Amino acid sequence: MRRFLIWYCILSPIVFALVIAVLGFVTPGYDPAYRTIGELSIGKYGWIEQANLLQLALCYVILSYILPIHFADLRTKKIWTIASWVCALVIVAVVLFPTLSLEELRVPLSSMPLAGIAHWLPMGLLFAVTPYLITIMAQSTAREKAFKHLAIPIAISGYVCCILMVVWLFLFYFNSGFGAFGLLQRVITLCCLFWPESCALVMRQALRPDFKNPVSRTP
């Protein structure tokens, strides 16, 4: 069963990215370079994107249970469990409150529809905690023998994600003529998908009979 769950976590981010790519080209009137990923949820095939988001949320829920098993340090277990659940809950919130179009979102908060506020709120909370979350995730990973090689890449991808989110928000509110909001958001998304994919691949490696798991030697 654990082997199946690990494979699910390996394939889920890949499927998520592929579905976004395909829907971006087949949705009528949708410009993948300009339109956001969230706008796929309100397009012709919105139900497919909603299902795509839910399968990714399930991936994070599964990670919250199977990833800590591979950690020896109790604090590391807690950090990664919380991080996985935060990501899962934000995705579920985005599914429950689909985004509006870019034009409808580019208004003062006081004039924004309730649906827009409900969509921005979880995204804003995630943005606020991401720098701290990335820092403690990278530090905790460095303490784990099987995962310590991921500490620096996770930190780099996380901080790049934060910087690009700031750039995206700045351009969104101060340069409405920028024509690559969707492309920039897709780069941010790939950075966000790095850690679940890389951790799942390490867990897959741990299934090999010749893999020396440091947790198994922990009293």
Which residue in 175, 180, 29 sits closest to 106, CA to CA? 175
* pLDDT tens-digit map of 156-206: 988 898 898 889 888 887 876 778 888 998 998 998 898 899 999 988 887
| Residue 74 pLDDT greater than 70, yes or no | yes
All residues at 6 or more sequence positions from 165 whose CB lies less than 8 Å from its CB, including other chains: 127, 130, 188
Cβ–Cβ < 8 Å for 77, 71: yes
* pLDDT tens-digit map of 132-161: 888 888 888 888 888 888 889 989 988 898
The distance from CA 105 to its chain's CA centroid, rounded to whole angstroms, is 21
Half-sphere exposure of 88 (CA within 13 A, CB side): 19
| pLDDT > 90 fraction of the chain, expressed in percent and rounded | 27
Parse the chain into domains and list their residue ranges. 2-208
Q: How confident is the model at residue 218 (pLDDT cuts 50, 70, 90)?
A: very low
Which residue in 26, 33, 36 sits closest to 169, CA to CA? 36
Kindly tell me the sign of the dihedral angle through the C-alpha atoms of 29, 188, 96, 8: positive
